Amino acid sequence: MRRDVFQAIADPTRRAIIALIALQAMTPNAIAEHFDTTRQAVSKHLRILSECELIKHEQQGREIYYELEIDKMKEIDHWLEQFRKIWETRFNQLDTLLSTLNTNKL
């Protein structure tokens, strides 16, 4: 089953994992230390994030390090950009309205 990237980031634990490895590549054990859950649960989250191509892993000796896949995060940002423009327009309209109301009060 192909997972959707937005399903992956909907989970708070997976978002926390993304935030952790955005700072530096980490092993699964190092990631698991930050959560009050089993190592197997963290592995499941890592698998889902990998399937969605939000993270990638690299073997270094006997250790596997997970790191953020920046290009995939950019795709999410591009999708959100359309809404960011709508919000900014609405905030600007509200700002204008509030300024007009304040001016009329004086």
Domains of the chain: which residue ranges? 1-68, 70-106
Dihedral of alpha carbons 77, 83, 86, 89, sign: negative
Fold topology of 1-68: Arc Repressor Mutant, subunit A (1.10.10)
Report the percentage of the chain scoring pLDDT > 70: 97
pLDDT confidence of 104, banded at 50, 70, 90?
confident
Helix, coil or strand: residue 11: coil
pLDDT confidence of 1, banded at 50, 70, 90?
low
Region 11-29: what's the mean pLDDT?
Answer: 95
Looking at residue 102, what is its pLDDT? 85
- Look up the pTM and report it: 0.76
